[in-house]
Structures are given as structure tokens and as C-alpha cells.
Structure 1
Amino acid sequence: MPVTLVMIFALLMMTFGSAKDAALVFSGVPLALTGGVIALWLRDIPLSITAGVGFITLCGVSVLTGVMMVSAFIDELKRGTPIDKALHDGAMLRLRPILMVALVAALGFLPMALNTSTGAEVQRPLATVVIGGIISSTLLTLFVLPGLYRLAWRKPKVTNERGDLLS
């Protein structure tokens, strides 16, 4: 799990070219993991290997939604939009895609989470982790990430004459 998290952060750094943006996207992972742990606790399911696989899946989904949101912010800023308007417009632009990702993933895992037939004891922890984590991660991405982005980028980003962000 720690190796996976380090690899995810390294890929984010390569994607954005900024440790600050990578850290902002990565901020969704702890809340997603917390949501997964709480879901396991609420359902009285012990931590297992399949729950660990669910946590890795959850990290990927939470990072995906963060990338969508931060990319929208960066695109708006590249257009010259003031930061507060860029955050609002970017969040509104990505609201539907982020909710769709969360809804599809949560509903897709719901039959596994509720299954009681043979083999369900293997599927249930994975599905429970993903559903619980996606709920908490989506809330962070939609409501907290814009605020964190605003705090992190108090000074406007600097661009060159072509409009490329120089950070």
C-alpha cells in the first residue's frame, strides 16, 4: 500500500509539474481511506487482503476525481479568469462528471457489498471499502478541494507569453 501511494504521488507530480498541485489532488486520499475504514467499522467487517485491494482501488478513484477538479481550475486560470471565479466555474464544470464517477462506482459495488451467497465474505470487504471511501472522497473533492486550492494558491500563478503556467 505505501509503495502504491508513493507511485500515485510521483505520477501526479509528473502530470502537473507542481508538487503543490500534486499534494492538493493527493489530499483526497486520506479522507477516502478514512471513509473506507469507517465503512468497515460500521459493517463490523475485519480488515483483510480484499479490503486492502479495495483501498488501492479507492485511491485510484479518489485521485481521478481530484485530477478532474484541479485540471478544471488550471484550465480556467490559463484563460485569465480570476482565481475565485476559476474555482467556482471549474467546480461547476466538473460537478456532473465527479458525481457520475462516484455514483457509477458506488452502485457498481453495491451488489457485492450486500451479497450473502457463497464467496460473499471475500467480496464484501472490498465493496464496503470502495463505497464508504467514495462517499467521503466525493464530498472532499466537491466541497473542500476548492477551498484548499484557494489557500494553496493565494498568489496568482505566473504564465509566460504563450500562456503556459510557470508556477
Structure 2
Amino acid sequence: MRASFPSSGSRELATAEQTQTFGEELGRALEPGDVVILDGPLGAGKTTFTQGIARGLQVKGRVTSPTFVIAREHRSTVGGPALIHVDAYRLLGEGSSGDPLGELDALDLDTELSAAVVVAEWGGGLVEQIAEDYLLVKVDRETAVLRDPESEARIFSWELVEA
């Protein structure tokens, strides 16, 4: 990840548009081999955030939840890294071999992970096996609602975890 993006921080984002804009900012800072783990409850905005990352990386294809396909690969339109968008919950779930790296490799992706940016929703347990360093992004959708029950805001906090 380029030094232009802070290695840790927190932002409260009130709308899906703000979430995508923040994701785009991160996407512009990501480099081949970077791994981003998204942690948050269902409906927290993980896929919306990934849509922004895709815009920042300038990749092809519509970014949707990878739940049913486990992983999607989006190739760059500008010669940059591909985006590998993974649903790690499914990758590590029932029917899994217990070898997440093997499971990811078995998906027969066209791009080597070291040449792509990997964004994994529900990535705890997977990331430690595919990367020594990763960006952990936590999405909190409860704190803003406790302050204001009408709020749609999410709080995104992130930290670069290095081995």
C-alpha cells in the first residue's frame, strides 16, 4: 500500500456514496500483492466499499457480493493489478478442505495472488495463510444508530497489520 494512505484510522460515513468514495481513495493506494480484509455484519457495506476500491483500481466488471461464486476476478483497464474479491466465509465454510490457500488456489484464478489486490469479506482465518501483512478494515453499523436510530452511517476503522 502506498504511503499516501494512512496505515490506520477511522471515518464515519453517512451514505453509500461516501462509502464508495472512501473505497476509491483506498483503491488508488493499493498495489499488487496487497490484501484487504473486511470485517462487519451482514449489510454493513462491505460490498459497497469494495465497489469503491474497484473504481480506484480501475478494474472491469460490476462488483457484486461474491457469496454465490466464492470469488470474482476483475481485470484492470489500465494495466494495474486485478482485483480478486473473495467471500472467505464461504471459502472457509462447510464443505471446505480446511486449507483456505488450497481452496483459493483451486478456484483457478487467472491471476497470481502476488500480482493482484485481494479483498476478502469475512477474511479472518484466511488472511494469515495468504499474506504476512494486510489491511484490516472493520465496519461498525451500530454505534451511529445508537446515537441516532434514524442514522444510516457506518464507522470504518482500519489498521495495517504487519508480521
Q: What interval of TM-score do these two structures reach, taking the shorter chain for normalisation?
A: under 0.3
Higher strand share: 2
Q: Normalising by structure 2, what TM-score?
A: 0.27
Q: Normalising by structure 1, what TM-score?
A: 0.27
